[in-house]
Amino acid sequence: PVLSANMRSKGDGGSVAPVVAHTTIAVGGLTVSVFGLTVPMVTERMAAKAVSAFLFDDPTETARKQVANLRYNADILIALSHLGIAPDRALAEAVPGIDVIIGGHTHVVLNEPEVVNTVPVLQAGSHARFFGHATLSLGRDGMRVEAYELLSLQLKEGA
39 vs 33, 46, 51, 74, CA distance in Å?
A: 20, 13, 12, 25
User: Between 59-70 and 85-94, two packed helices, what is the crossing angle to 10 degrees?
Assistant: 50
0.85 cut: is pTM over it?
yes
Q: Do 79 and 33 form a contact (C-beta atoms < 8 A)? A: no
Dist CA 46 CA 66 (whole Å) = 27
Dist CA 63 CA 83 (whole Å) = 12
pLDDT by 10s per residue, the chain, length 159: 789 999 887 777 666 667 899 999 999 899 999 999 998 876 555 555 666 677 889 999 999 999 999 999 999 999 999 999 999 999 999 999 999 999 998 888 888 999 999 999 999 988 888 899 999 988 888 888 999 999 988 876 655
Catalogue all structural domains in the chain, each as residue range(s) with its CATH number.
2-126 (3.60.21.10)
19 vs 2, 74, 132, CA distance in Å?
A: 5, 21, 23
13's CB contacts (< 8 A; 6+ apart) are 55
